[in-house]
């Protein structure tokens, strides 16, 4: 028997741009991989030195000087275990997205990513040039092909590595989460391994980065496309894989096999991780939320508590003359169930003061949504004042359905630093609330079953202004996420009047979405990084049935 290797898979939660502390983490993980697991080689994720995606930090000269310094430190401080790490590197042809092998304190092999993604949330062609050479390393008798992320999604790079003699593929990744992405990712890699008759070690980044969440879920598949090692999703981790070469065959023995999370739990864990990392990585002391007694703020508050702990979450109930007793009771009940600080600040006096001051310039004008928006802006002002005074960031509470059609008030209920449910359609909000109550009953049942209302005027309900959510959400999915033409949406069974209403609302509210807080991405096409439309646009979809 020859070519026996023990490989550590390292899911490390790094911070974009924090090169020094990222290297500190790599060194700490390497020490554990050697002392606790006895591994020969530790594999990290794509661009682990800088975090992914570093975006326009890559355009700053000082950024690359620090990378070189810290890469040198990494080589000097880790000499008893070999490393596969990712980093950006300037070359004669341009900047490359590199995966490298460090052996005995020296960089012995470097590979430049060949397939650069430039769709959805990815814009790597803005920064990197394409590599054109495979990298096959004879490592302790096993020929390893080194690849980076997108290389394994399309034919070419991996096939070239196998043609050049690779018996095992190591693929390092910065692959962000969306619902069902873990299954999709694994299917692609397993199919590639099976077709090429070559095992694959797939290591992915973990952690939240602005709107993106990286789920980890690193895994290993044998030459038949069977998963033999599966790490957990949404948590940091270090695990070992044993590789033995027997004659010409590679044998793998994993040490971990974690089951895939059910759909709702997976989405919920992504939201929790996204909120936790955004708040903590940006140095906030905690969060404050306007808890209204409605479903959106209820779910947001629960996510925040699960992410940060009850001691780091404040909520403020801001009643007005239209706020029902039910809302007041349910908000207080949830705050008690979660064990969080609950404040009550009536907006009645400040609303009356605003209206009185505005009366001279409003003379002769009828009441309309302006007065409703003043209520929302009084609440926004209250939350921001509390944030300024305490250092707690405001978590805003608008869901994807509302963000899509502009059913929100600028500088009112849209105010805040981050939005946990920005990419969560309303129907999914209800499903996630019910799921979370199966863990522990913290959201009052009445909050889930009540007719949703903004409570900005007497007897108001959302369906006064919008189609029912079981109609609205599917239309939005077709138009926003799939770019489906109006005629095709109608052909799927939706009423022309609903389709035309929704499309008009989506298109005219781009200016609002552009000013909205960032939020966790959990769908294939979120507002922000994914869907980029001009605010000023003369293009209108043809609505002809």
Query: Which residues are tagged catalytic?
Result: 46, 113, 149
Q: What are phi and psi of 131, to 5 degrees?
A: -75, 160
Pull the structure tokens for residue 462.
């959302």
**Residues paired with 233 in a beta bridge:** 216
Beta carbons of 135 and 165 less than 8 angstroms apart: no
Q: Which of 238, 249, 250 is nearest to 43 (CA)?
A: 238
- At 230, phi and psi to the nearest 5? -140, 120
DSSP string, 100-135: EEEETTEEEEEEE-S----STT--GGGT-PPP----
Contact 484, 470 (CB under 8 A): no
CB 172 within 8 A of CB 203: yes
Other C-beta atoms lying within 10 Å of the C-beta of residue 341? 14
Q: How many CB atoms lie within 10 A of CB 165?
A: 12
Q: How far apart are CA 419 and CA 518, in angstroms?
A: 6
On whether the CB atoms of residues 228 and 19 are closer than 8 A, the answer is no
Q: What number of other Cβ atoms are within 10 A of residue 176's Cβ?
A: 23
Q: Alpha-carbon Rg of the chain, whole angstroms?
A: 26
How far is Cα of residue 53 from the mean position of the Cα atoms in its chain? 12
Name, in order, each residue with C-beta under 8 angstroms of 428's C-beta and a sequence gap of 6 or more. 267, 473
Angstrom distance (rounded) from CA 167 to CA 200 = 9
Is 86 within 8 Å of 172 (Cβ atoms)? Answer: yes
* CA 303 – CA 267 distance, rounded (Å): 11
CA distance 179 to 402: 20
Q: How many residues does the chain have?
A: 545
- Write down the H helix ranges in 391-478: 400-405, 426-439, 445-449, 469-476
Backbone angles phi, psi at 89, to 5 degrees: -140, 130
Q: Please return the burial class of 228, using the count of CB atoms within 10 Å of its CB with bins 0-12, 13-18 and 19+.
A: middle
Q: 239-266: buried (b, 16+ CB within 10 Å) or exposed (e) per residue?
A: bbbebbbeeeebbbebebeeeebeebbb
Could you tell me the two tokens for 276? 């936790």
The C-alpha atoms of residue 219 and residue 189 are separated, in whole angstroms, by 10
For residues 340 and 314, the answer to whether their CB atoms sit within 8 Å is: yes
């Amino acid at each position: 028997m020859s070519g026996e290797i023990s490989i550590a898979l390292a899911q490390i939660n790094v911070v974009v741009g924090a090169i020094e502390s990222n290297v500190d983490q790599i060194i700490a993980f390497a020490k554990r991989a050697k002392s606790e697991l006895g591994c020969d080689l530790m594999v990290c994720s794509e661009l682990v030195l800088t975090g992914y995606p570093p975006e326009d930090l890559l355009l700053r000269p000082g950024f690359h000087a620090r990378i070189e310094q810290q890469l040198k430190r990494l080589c000097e401080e880790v000499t008893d275990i070999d490393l596969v790490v990712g980093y950006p590197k300037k070359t004669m042809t341009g900047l490359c997205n590199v995966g490298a092998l460090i052996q005995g304190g020296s960089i012995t092999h470097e590979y430049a990513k060949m397939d650069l993604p430039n769709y959805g949330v990815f814009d790597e062609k803005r920064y990197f040039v394409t590599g054109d050479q495979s990298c096959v390393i004879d490592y302790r008798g096993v020929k390893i092909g080194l690849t980076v992320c997108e290389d394994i999604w399309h034919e070419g790079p991996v096939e070239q590595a196998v043609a050049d003699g690779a018996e095992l593929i190591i693929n390092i990744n910065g692959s962000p989460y969306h619902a069902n992405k873990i299954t999709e990712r694994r299917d692609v890699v397993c199919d590639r391994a099976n077709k090429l008759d070559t095992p694959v070690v797939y290591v992915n980044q973990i952690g939240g980065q602005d709107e993106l969440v990286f789920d980890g879920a690193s895994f290993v598949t044998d030459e038949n496309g069977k998963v033999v090692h599966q790490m957990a999703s949404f948590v940091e981790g270090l695990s070992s894989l044993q590789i033995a070469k027997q004659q010409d065959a590679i044998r793998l023995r994993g040490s971990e096999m974690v089951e895939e999370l059910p759909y709702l739990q997976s989405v919920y864990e992504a939201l929790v991780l996204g909120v936790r990392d955004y708040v903590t990585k940006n140095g906030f002391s905690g969060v404050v939320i306007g808890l209204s007694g409605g479903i959106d703020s209820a779910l947001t508050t629960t996510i925040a508590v699960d992410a940060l702990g009850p001691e780091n979450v404040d909520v403020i109930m801001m009643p007005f003359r239209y706020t029902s007793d039910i809302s007041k009771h349910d908000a207080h009940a949830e705050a008690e169930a979660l064990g969080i600080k609950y404040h009550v600040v009536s907006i009645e006096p400040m609303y009356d003061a605003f209206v009185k001051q505005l009366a001279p310039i409003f003379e002769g004008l009828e009441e309309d949504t302006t007065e409703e928006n003043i209520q929302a802006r009084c609440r926004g002002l209250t939350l921001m004042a509390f944030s300024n005074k305490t250092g707690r960031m405001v978590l805003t509470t608008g869901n994807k359905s509302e963000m899509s059609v502009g059913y929100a008030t600028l500088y009112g209920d849209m105010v805040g630093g981050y939005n946990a449910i920005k990419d969560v359609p309303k129907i999914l909000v209800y499903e996630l609330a019910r799921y979370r109550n199966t863990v522990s009953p913290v959201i009052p049942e009445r909050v889930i079953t009540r007719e949703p209302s903004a409570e900005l005027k007497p007897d108001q309900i959302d369906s006064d202004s919008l189609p029912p959510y079981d109609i609205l959400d599917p239309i939005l999915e077709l138009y926003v996420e799939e770019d489906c033409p109006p005629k095709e949406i109608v052909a799927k069974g939706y009423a022309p009047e609903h389709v035309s209403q929704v499309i008009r609302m989506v298109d005219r509210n781009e200016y609002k979405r552009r000013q909205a807080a960032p939020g966790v991405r959990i769908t294939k096409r979120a507002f922000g990084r994914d869907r980029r439309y001009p605010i000023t646009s003369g293009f209108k979809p043809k609505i002809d049935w």
